[in-house]
A and B are shown apart, each in its own frame.
Chain A
């Protein structure tokens, strides 16, 4: 499968615990994005990497959230001290990042439930 891969697909955690999600983009894509989607809403932008550089972060990304893309390949999104409001679908996407605007390809997402 050469699409965007996310792990785990589902995560249930207790409030206050830390969680980490992984995203493997399409191999030749140098742009990687994280989005969050809650019920009844469209995906909301969280952060974006060009290769290993994190170029933009949304105001939604509080200081409890951190994302990395250490070698410009896979990325991790960590949420520290989870809160019930963090319950959402976390989506990763990648795009080639060349030749002007182009569509982003999404993974299947990680569904986080904080209890």
Chain B
């Protein structure tokens, strides 16, 4: 049972354009969401998070949007840079649990 879904396994975006990575979830108990970035042979690196009491959180080039009614969140990267090329994982937490539930990831490639 995949509670966190990233339906696009890959995405290619031109440098300078906006990258939009999507994530859907099924568990309505999730109330905190995170995005991680992962390079090959390294562990995931935390990027940005959002609590369910908000619908938007921004940090520099990264913005996360949360639509609770649709159980959908998205990560916007603008402008995209070649160094952003990596696998991006969406993850979720419930208030009573500490473990992260991850999606399967989206591989972003930013081309010149």
Q: Write the residues of chain A forming the contact surface with B, with a CB cutoff of 8 angstroms.
A: 4, 6, 31, 33, 35, 40-45, 48, 50, 55-56, 58, 91, 93, 95, 97, 101, 103-109, 111
CA distance A111 to B98 in the complex (A): 24
CA distance A106 to B102 in the complex (A): 13
Given A41-B104, A42-B105, is A103 in contact with B98 using a C-beta cutoff of 8 Å?
Answer: no
- Assess the A43–B98 pair: CB atoms within 8 A: no
- Assess the B44–A97 pair: CB atoms within 8 A: no
CA distance A26 to B46 in the complex (A): 15
Can you name 8 extra interface pairs (CB under 8 A) apart from A50-B98, A104-B100?
A41-B104, A42-B102, A42-B105, A43-B100, A55-B98, A58-B99, A101-B32, A107-B43
Q: How large is the interface on B (under 10, 10 to 19, 20 to 34, 35 or more residues)?
A: 20 to 34
CA distance A48 to B103 in the complex (A): 19
B17-58: which have CB < 8 Å to A? 31-32, 34, 36, 41-46, 49, 51
B76-100: which have CB < 8 Å to A? 89, 91, 93, 95, 97-100
B101 within 8 A of A: yes
